[in-house]
Amino acid sequence: MPMIRIAQAQINATVGAFSTNSAKIIEAIHEARDDGADIVTFPELSICGYPPEDLLLKRGFLQDNLDALERIRECTDRITAVVGHADYLDGKVYNAASVFQDRKRAAVYHKIELPNYGVFDEKRYFMKGSHAVVFEMKGIRFFLTICEDIWIEGGFQETSVKGAGVDIIVNISASPFHAGKLDLRIQTASRFARLGDAFFCFNNLVGGQDELVFDGGSFVMNPQGKVVARAPRFRESVLVYDIEIEKPKTPGRKGPGDETKGVSFHLASYEDQARGELSPPVTETYGRLDEIYQALVLGTRDYVIKNGFKKVLIGLSGGIDSALTAVIAVDALGPQNVVGVTMPSPYTSGETLSDAGRLAANLKIQLITVPIREIYEAYLHATDAVMDNRRHGIAHENIQARIRGNILMALSNQFGWLVLTTGNKSEIAVGYCTLYGDMAGGFAVIKDVPKTLVFELSEHVNRSRGREIIPESVIIRPPTAELRPGQKDEDSLPPYPMLDSILHAYVEEDKAPDEIIEAGFDREVVKDVIRMVNLNEYKRRQGPPGVKITPKAFGRDRRLPITNAYLRRLD
Amino acid sequence: MPMIRIAQAQINATVGAFSTNSAKIIEAIHEARDDGADIVTFPELSICGYPPEDLLLKRGFLQDNLDALERIRECTDRITAVVGHADYLDGKVYNAASVFQDRKRAAVYHKIELPNYGVFDEKRYFMKGSHAVVFEMKGIRFFLTICEDIWIEGGFQETSVKGAGVDIIVNISASPFHAGKLDLRIQTASRFARLGDAFFCFNNLVGGQDELVFDGGSFVMNPQGKVVARAPRFRESVLVYDIEIEKPKTPGRKGPGDETKGVSFHLASYEDQARGELSPPVTETYGRLDEIYQALVLGTRDYVIKNGFKKVLIGLSGGIDSALTAVIAVDALGPQNVVGVTMPSPYTSGETLSDAGRLAANLKIQLITVPIREIYEAYLHATDAVMDNRRHGIAHENIQARIRGNILMALSNQFGWLVLTTGNKSEIAVGYCTLYGDMAGGFAVIKDVPKTLVFELSEHVNRSRGREIIPESVIIRPPTAELRPGQKDEDSLPPYPMLDSILHAYVEEDKAPDEIIEAGFDREVVKDVIRMVNLNEYKRRQGPPGVKITPKAFGRDRRLPITNAYLRRLD
């Protein structure tokens, strides 16, 4: 009964960091060999990071990526390595997986299904591959796929694998996170494993890249579609697992299937490897709130660190959004790297101010105070005449928010701290936020977190640590922007549970207004919410990036024109 | 010798404005029939506007577009109309041209070449068509194409037309402007006309849509590839032209070509039309500066008007960028709809202040003054302690720029005026601008205009009107941000002619640093400029949209990750 030891290296690659990425890959090759692995795999485009976007249009970038691949090839003595990279052939670019053994490139596979929807633009860069690749080692037949290849029902690779007579399917991926995505991956892989009647090895990327978080969670699945080994999520690891094949399918066979084009080749096997004990299997699992929270932490940490920053600055209003943002930042970077600033105005209550102080104390972060009253009065003095002496309304609320934005950015410029903004998805959706004010900053940690989920995550933070991190008064106080006396969010917006349900239907499920009304929501409320979402596209277009945690985030996921008579009803 | 009268309706469609767009189409059908035209054509996606982006993922949008198509079909008595729209068939979406005659849909053509590069994302939305379409009328054979179909050398339609034996090629387009694009179109059409040995009718869209300007300039070309009639540019028109075919190719023939799949059909002809005199041919042509200027005017006008604004607000610094922006705004919207605001600081010189006043007087626009000294002092007072009492440097320069941004936005919020920003491409490229400061606003008129071109356009404005609009002192004064005493742009940047040459090579031609150095530029200067361009991607990401006038604008044309160790040299 042939056995193969497979190592899946779940690395945190950075886009364009060729030396760091290849050092990680080479280190994992050594580690896998030391562990007695026959084969080690790496995520999709692991040499260049994912997604490289228009860097792929630069010849120098492609060449550096191929040079790094060469260096990796030279480190593959007595082991097989499957490495994801961009391939460049006859003037065309492919999303590729190279198979190396003993410093030789045995084969290269070109991804066939290129996603070009949602956050993906792969048809902008890549040519699609034309054939399946199968290789054999120790009498065991492997079938290569890259990410999307397994997601297309009735697609080329699904057809190929059915007739291929293979024992192990390898899928190298850069599969971005959203809440619940792991279950989808398992379902998808399970279907593919059963179609191929083969073990399934899913090797995902880990780490944050601009708005995307790759959550790792690589796994091995048996031919019945059951997960038999799993890697941790949200951190790097090498998952090593012994697959025993009771009865290899068709050793020595030539092609992948009868009806599909394909190439097949044989690799050497090394029987004298020292095979150490495998580490105990990972058993940790994440609940819904856990996985979202960890994605926010990883996405924030990687954005800050990979962009060369050490410290971040957060405006603490005493409200729940900035509190949750600060907690995430502390988990991402440590309390010594998070600075809070509170900027009280004439409308700031004593309670919110003292809550900001308690939060900072609970988190052990530095807190700066810069009152804005005098600055605001100077604005009033300078503008009263040209503003027709009308002092109340949106214009004056926004002046205050923009004074705060200016102070945050001044501190950022002076000390080199990155400003984290604190807006949630609900308020960004309806435009209940000030452009250049509370939207000013480099990274919007919770921009894809609806307000009701902000509450859940905040309670989860306190519950999971068994003590109050976010002051209880912050969680129970009705949300307010505190830009005029007695202001409450619900004066301008529907109650958040209702708002979030409507937003979920409209933004994430892309339902038409009438469908949402038919589901039982008040017609006027629905129309009002949708009108606000549509009118505020221009604001979102100028907002900072932030972690995607839902199936459809604002940004690259949802590309709408600003000039748009359809949604804005200007026709 | 058969003759056909063809009308090409170059309409200004707005994305999603189904009733306005179809009213324009129906009006043009009536006009063409009154003119005795046999056939009238409309631009690509003229019913729904171009590009509709993710609106195409909404079923309601597709249905409204098909409903509008039905209304148009009903207006095609005794005329043939070729109308661009989104088609929805068996759950798939196509970029289509329907041919109507006598209220019947005679055929539909589905675009075959789908651009998915530069500013285009058509593979995100559309399925490609599978066959050519030829129709015959009065013994004359027509061949249908949509935009990109003719741009692909060796593509499907190029192959199809060679064997098709047709007399007239119709191309409906939504071809966006950049400087010099018309010449490219003429070259491309000319090649295609000669390959098909047929007349070529190019019907372009006109109007602004977010960052794109469609410049019209439809034309008729003879089989030798020479333009024989042209429509005006930058405005709506119906170009009517009589094409005489000396010897029709192969009337009665079935398919388009022997080697390509294709459908062919016959249409009725009406011999008793009253054929009025044709209007005299358009002879106007545009020089390089003219066409760029007109594109800026049209792009600005349409962004403002199509988004429901009437008036705009511009911060007038006394410098050349804001001066040119104001001139463009006045040409776009009229002087009564442009408000200037000057916001002197302690570093503002008397000359710049009086220049702003002269410009406003020359343009006959309202000018508001809001001094910022007191506000700035209030900021200093509030922040000195937390800023370590260091008052000079980028942080304090930016505070001033952001005070101005705040005042502009306050006026915008109070009066409903759209803020136009005034940054040019050179400074946006290297980040010589303040996020939330001078970058704050709704539309960035000259964001794709390099500084050297700002000078050229400014001189062109004065020259072409034969009088001083932009004060001469504004044109000759060395550029300065006036954020500290005696500041000049060239203290921080290379001379603009050198900077713009490097930027052109790096951004528009996508040359590698070494190639630029080899072309004769100083190594350190090149590295410094490129470093600045790469470091400031995060700023551009939060900037407002503006008119694209070069082959590669920042924005959708050039999609780079912010987190990017390759360009930012963080590896």
CATH code, domain carrying A251? 3.60.110.10
| Helix (H) / strand (E) containing B125 | none
Domain shared by A169 and A296, yes or no: no
Cβ contacts from A onto B, under 8 A: 266
pLDDT at B45: 98
> A169-218: per-residue pLDDT in tens?
999 999 999 999 999 999 999 999 999 999 999 999 999 999 999 999 99
Range of the domain at A243: 3-266
Tracing tokens 């549509």 back to the chain, one arrives at: A534
Q: How is the beta sheet containing A237-244 ordered, strand by strand?
A: A104-110, A92-101, A80-89, A39-41, A3-10, A237-244
Q: Are residues A389 and A469 in the same domain?
A: yes
Q: Does residue A338 sit in the same domain as residue A243? A: no
The answer to whether B413 contacts A406, with C-beta atoms less than 8 Å apart, is no
Distance of CA A137 to the CA centre of its chain: 35
Quote the DSSP letter at residue B530: H
Tokens of B127: 């399925």
pTM score over 0.90: yes
Residues A98 and A33 in one domain: yes
> Which residues of A fall within a CB distance of 8 Å from B59?
512
CB distance A219 to A231 below 8 Å: yes
Would you call A378 and B383 a contact, using CB atoms and an 8 Å cutoff? no
- Count of structural domains within chain A: 2
Contact criterion met (CB < 8 Å) for B409 and A388: no
pLDDT for the residue numbered A392: 78
Work out the minimum CA distance from A60 to partner chain B, whole angstroms: 7
Measured CA to CA, the distance from residue B428 to residue B439 in angstroms comes to: 9
Task: Find the closest chain A residue to B21 by CA distance.
Answer: A571
Asked if B427 and B360 sit in the same domain, the reply is yes
Contacts 24+ apart (CB under 8 A), A31-35: A31/A7, A31/A238, A32/A7, A32/A79, A32/A238, A32/A240, A33/A77, A33/A78, A33/A79, A33/A273, A34/A276, A35/A5, A35/A7, A35/A238, A35/A240, A35/A275, A35/A276, A35/A278
Domain assignment present for A247: yes
> Which of A127, A436, A568 should be substituted to probe chain B, the one whose Cβ sees the most B Cβ atoms within 10 Å?
A436
- Identify whether A283 is part of a domain: no
Question: Tokens standing for B552?
Answer: 């590669």
Contact B386 A411 (CB under 8 A): yes
Query: Considering only CB atoms, which chain B residues are within 8 Å of A379?
Result: 375, 406-407, 410
Residue in A53, A421, A563 to test binding to B, most B beta-carbons within 10 Å: A563
Residue B345 neighbours by CB distance under 10 Å? 17
| Residues of A designated as active site | 44, 111, 147
Dist CA B264 CA B252 (whole Å): 9
**Residues B38 and B185 grouped into a single domain:** yes
Contact B512/A58, CB-based, under 8 Å? yes
- Yes or no: say if A443 and A545 are a contact pair by the CB < 8 Å rule: yes
CB atoms within 10 A of CB A66: 16
Pairing of strands B3-10, B237-244: antiparallel
Residue bearing the bigger pLDDT, B259 or A456? A456
Q: A544 contacts in B (CB within 8 Å)?
A: 538, 541-542
Quick one: B358 and B262 in the same domain?
A: no
| Cα B327 to Cα B469: distance, rounded to the nearest angstrom | 8
CATH number of the domain residue B350 falls in = 3.40.50.620
Same domain? For B480 and B562 the reply is yes
- Reported as a pLDDT band with limits 50, 70 and 90, residue A258 is very low
Residue A395 to residue B197: CA distance in whole angstroms: 63
Task: Answer whether residue B521 is part of any domain.
Answer: no
Which of B303, B396, B563 has its CB closest to that of A210? B563
B515 vs A285, residue with greater confidence:
B515
- DSSP assignment string, B375-437: HHHHHHHHHTTTTTT---SHHHHHHHHHHHHHHHHHHHHHHTPEEEE---HHHHHHT-S-TTT
- The letter for the amino acid at B328 is I
CA distance B254 to B256: 7
Q: What is the largest CA-CA distance in chain B?
A: 89
| Boundary of a domain, candidates A266, A301, A318 | A266
Higher pLDDT, A285 or A24: A24
| Gap between the Cα atoms of B206 and B208, Å rounded | 7
Check: CB of residue A537 under 8 Å from CB of residue A530.
Answer: no
- A304 falls within a domain: yes
Contacts of residue A281, defined as CB under 8 A and 6 or more positions apart, other chains included, come to: A229, A230
For residue A435, the chain B residues in CB contact (below 8 A) are 409, 440
Q: Any residues with CB less than 8 A from the CB of A518 and at least 6 apart, and which?
A: none
Residue type, B20: T
B534 within 8 A of A61, measured Cβ to Cβ: no
d(CA A343, CA B82): 61
B146 and B73 share one domain:
yes
User: Which tokens in the block code for residue B444?
Assistant: 């960035």
Residue A71 and residue A148 in one domain: yes
Domain match, A217 and A327 both: no
Contact A378 B374 (CB under 8 A): yes
In sequence order, which residues have a C-beta less than 8 Å from that of residue B175 and are 6 or more positions away? B147, B181, B185, B204, B205, B214
Distance CA B136, CA B269 (A): 10
Q: What is the mean pLDDT of each run of 10 residues along chain B (571 residues)?
A: 94 97 98 95 98 96 97 97 97 97 95 97 97 93 97 94 92 98 97 97 98 97 96 96 91 61 78 75 87 98 97 97 98 98 91 93 97 97 91 91 98 97 98 97 98 98 96 93 87 94 95 94 96 95 98 94 85 68
Work out the minimum CA distance from A373 to partner chain B, whole angstroms: 9
Q: Decide if A410 and B371 are in contact by the 8 Å CB cutoff.
A: no
Do B306 and B391 lie in a common domain? yes
* pLDDT recorded at residue A130: 93
Whether residue A316 lies inside any domain: the answer is yes
State yes or no: cis peptide before A2, omega within 30 of 0: no
What is the pLDDT at residue B258?
Answer: 47
Q: Answer whether residue A526 is part of any domain.
A: no
Catalytic residue positions of B, numbered: 44, 111, 147
ipTM of predicted assembly, 2 dp: 0.95
Condensed to tens digits (0 to 9), the pLDDT of residues A522-532 reads 999 999 999 99
CA distance B263 to B255: 6
pLDDT greater than 90 at residue A134 = yes
Q: Distance (Å, rounded) from C-alpha A33 to C-alpha B490?
A: 57
**Residues paired with B443 in a beta bridge:** B420
Q: How far apart are CA A231 and CA A220, in angstroms?
A: 9
Q: Which long-range contacts (CB under 8 A, 24 or more apart) does B214-219 make?
A: B214/B43, B214/B50, B214/B174, B214/B175, B214/B176, B214/B177, B215/B177, B215/B181, B215/B182, B215/B291, B215/B294, B215/B295, B215/B298, B216/B10, B217/B182, B217/B185, B218/B8, B218/B10, B219/B186, B219/B189
Checking A183-188 for CB contacts under 8 A at 24+ apart, the result is A185/A217, A186/A219, A186/A221, A186/A227, A188/A150, A188/A151
Distances (CA, A) of B196 to A435, B144, B220, B246: 53, 12, 14, 16
Q: With DSSP H G I counted as helix, E B as strand and the rest as coil, what are the percentages for chain A, rounded to 5? A: 40, 20, 40
Instruction: Write down the pLDDT at residue B384.
Output: 93
The answer to whether residues B323 and B228 touch, using CB atoms and an 8 Å cutoff, is no
Q: Give DSSP secondary structure letters for A235-253.
A: S-EEEEEEEE-SS-S-TT-
**Which residues are CB-neighbours of A360 under 8 A, at least 6 positions away?**
A316, A326, A340, A366, A367
Q: What is the pLDDT of residue A259?
A: 46
Q: Find the mean pLDDT for residues A508-535.
A: 95
The answer to whether A435 contacts B559, with C-beta atoms less than 8 Å apart, is no
- For tokens 């003590």, what's the residue? A467
Give domain status of residue B386, yes or no: yes
- For A16, nearest residue in chain B (alpha carbons): B566
Cβ A101 vs Cβ A267: under 8 Å? yes
Establish if A520 belongs to a structural domain: no
| Beta pairing class for B140-146 and B132-137 | antiparallel
The answer to whether the CB atoms of A409 and B55 lie below 8 A apart is no
Contacts A61 to B, Cβ<8 Å: 566
For B303-377, strand residue ranges (E) read 312-315, 338-342, 366-369
Tokens of A331: 């988990």
Detail the DSSP E strand segments found in B211-273. 212-215, 219-221, 227-230, 237-244, 262-266
* Angle between helices B373-383 and A373-383 in degrees, nearest 10: 180
Question: For residue B17, which residues of chain A lie inside 8 Å, CB to CB?
Answer: 565-566, 570-571
Q: What residue type is assigned to position B403 of the chain?
A: I
Spatial distance between the Cα atoms of B402 and B81, rounded to a whole number of angstroms: 53
pLDDT at A271 (0 to 100): 73
